Amino acid sequence: MRKSILIALAITLANAAFGSASDDSHIISPARLYELNTWLDAETEFERRDSQPRIRLIAAEQAQHFQGIADHTEGTLRGLYDEETEIIYLVQPWSPNNQRDVSVLVHEMAHHRQSGQHWYCPQAQEWRAYQIQAQWLRERAIADNFYWPAILLQSSCAKRDIHSE
């Protein structure tokens, strides 16, 4: 819940600074979304939800406001899912023709399917979402380039031991 509030606040601040993101659901065809949902049905334990998430593109400048709040791939924020608004945000440049970009959408669609389930902490969802994304890439003979120890730590519900310098 706290993560959703922080994401919503960051989106509001980013939209105020850079203009609001429009609904960009047209960037990926309904047929391709159906294909992705069918793949998720077959390859994951998460059931399809009655509602489809909206998809929005955001500029890289807007994405900087999410650093430390949302998920990273290869050190750069590429996408996030806001559970409260059911919106997937994809960071530009994003192309439906780039399989690595599509894998980010698959990751965020997994989060959409995970929402409403019990998690010990919000970040616990990340481990499985990254596994799903890696599988998508692997099936297309693309290396995931994920640093799995960092993802394991990111998805841990353990309290962080932070030392001041």
Domain that holds residue 41: 2-154
Q: pLDDT (tens digit, 9 = 90+) per residue, 115-165?
A: 888 888 888 899 999 999 999 999 999 999 999 998 998 888 877 555 555
Count structural domains, the chain.
1
Residue 36 backbone dihedrals phi, psi, to 5 degrees: -65, -40
**Inter-residue contact 129 to 109 (CB < 8 Å):** no
Give me the residues paired with residue 58 across strands: 91
Q: Is residue 161 part of a domain?
A: no
Q: Specify the pTM.
A: 0.78
Q: Is residue 160 part of a domain?
A: no
Closest CA to 74 of 145, 129, 126: 145
Q: Is residue 162 part of a domain?
A: no
